[in-house]
Amino acid sequence: MSDSTAAVSATPPELADVAPEVAEAVAPDREIAVEVGDNIMEIKNLTMKFGGLVALDDVSFNIKRGEILGLIGPNGAGKTTCFNAMTGVYKPTSGDVLLEGESLKGVKQHKITRRGLARTFQNIRLFGEMTALENVVVGLDARHRTSVIGALLRLPRHTREEKSAVERGMALLEFVGIADHAGTLSRHLPYGHQRRLEIARALATDPKVLCLDEPAAGFNPAEKEELMVLIRRIRADGYTVLLIEHDMRLVMGVTDRIVVLEFGKKLADDTPVAIRNDPRVVAAYLGEPDDEPA
């Protein structure tokens, strides 16, 4: 990956023709608050088979500390499977995933979360009968080891930790922009707020790497714009972000680098500009152009 500040200040000539939205969306917030460079995660030859179906086929890529890495590809390309194999939802058929140099092989899902890998789900998974704040406090629990039941019953030995959990939970709701709805049952929240709440809950686990699976699904353009701002803020706060997203404007505008999957295989791994101009990627999305008429 190229140094992104350099990419902004010294625009190479071939970038001059890039559609304005890319530069306009990326330029203002390109400062990276943490050191970028070393690999925080390594995905090594990851393969995931479901019976005869190879959903992920020998996929390898790295995630660098402090970057926003996009993971794109047509429907069914294996993006969510990749998240699931990384975060312990699925046991990979073969290959390995390293977080800060340590293998996650055989590590249980909750322990992977505790090691610093958090994710949101393509289909929102919140506790509908809990308030927004409670959903976040439950997320905090993964790191802070508070007994949820103890916290909910307000047993004395939990009081101190519970208070800080509530304070932290409120701060996270503030951060994602839904603090006004802290007391609302999550199933009563508007859809966009539920997506934000999922992000807050994932952030509550204090992750090193945050994996977002189509966080803008169902969003209107204004909501997508706000989400881009939020994702940049998350990175500016020192998190590394892996983003699955179909919306090209959002992906191109917010990521530093993009990995493309097609039919479970890695098709490309490059800067947004290079990906946008890669004929293989265009073909993967739009289909190969028909041959000349017979």
> Closest Cα partner for 7 from 268, 291, 256?
256
Q: Are 56 and 46 in contact (CB under 8 A)?
A: yes
240 is a site residue for Mg ion (CB under 5 A):
no
123 is a site residue for ligand ATP (CB under 6 A):
no
For the CB of residue 73, give the shortest distance to ligand ATP in the complex, in Å: 5
75 is a site residue for ligand ATP (CB under 6 A):
yes
Q: DSSP characters for 202-261?
A: HHHT--SEEEEESTTTT--HHHHHHHHHHHHHHHHTT-EEEEE---HHHHHHH-SEEEEE
78 binds, among Mg ion, ligand ATP, none (CB under 5 to 8 A by kind): ligand ATP
What mask of x and - would describe binding to Mg ion in positions 89 to 128, judged by CB under 5 A?
---------------------------------x------
4 binds, among Mg ion, ligand ATP, none (CB under 5 to 8 A by kind): none
Query: Which residues of 51-131 form beta strands (DSSP E)?
Result: 53-64, 68-72, 94-99, 102-103, 117-119
Q: Which of 64, 65, 79, 119 binds ligand ATP (CB under 6 A)?
A: 79
Q: Which of 56, 57, 69, 80 binds Mg ion (CB under 5 A)?
A: 80
For the CB of residue 18, give the shortest distance to Mg ion in the complex, in Å: 28
Q: Which of 78, 192, 215, 272 binds ligand ATP (CB under 6 A)?
A: 78
Angstrom distance (rounded) from CA 61 to CA 43: 5
> Closest Cα partner for 95 from 51, 55, 40, 67?
55
Angstrom distance (rounded) from CA 60 to CA 43: 5
For the CB of residue 19, give the shortest distance to ligand ATP in the complex, in Å: 23
State whether residue 168 is helix, strand or coil. Answer: helix
Where in 35-54 is the site for ligand ATP (CB under 6 A)?
A: 50, 53
For the CB of residue 109, give the shortest distance to ligand ATP in the complex, in Å: 15
For the CB of residue 190, give the shortest distance to Mg ion in the complex, in Å: 23
Give the tokens for residue 221.
């353009």
- Segment near ligand ATP (CB under 6 A); pick from 60-68, 72-80, 141-149, 151-159: 72-80
55 binds, among ligand ATP, Mg ion, none (CB under 5 to 8 A by kind): ligand ATP
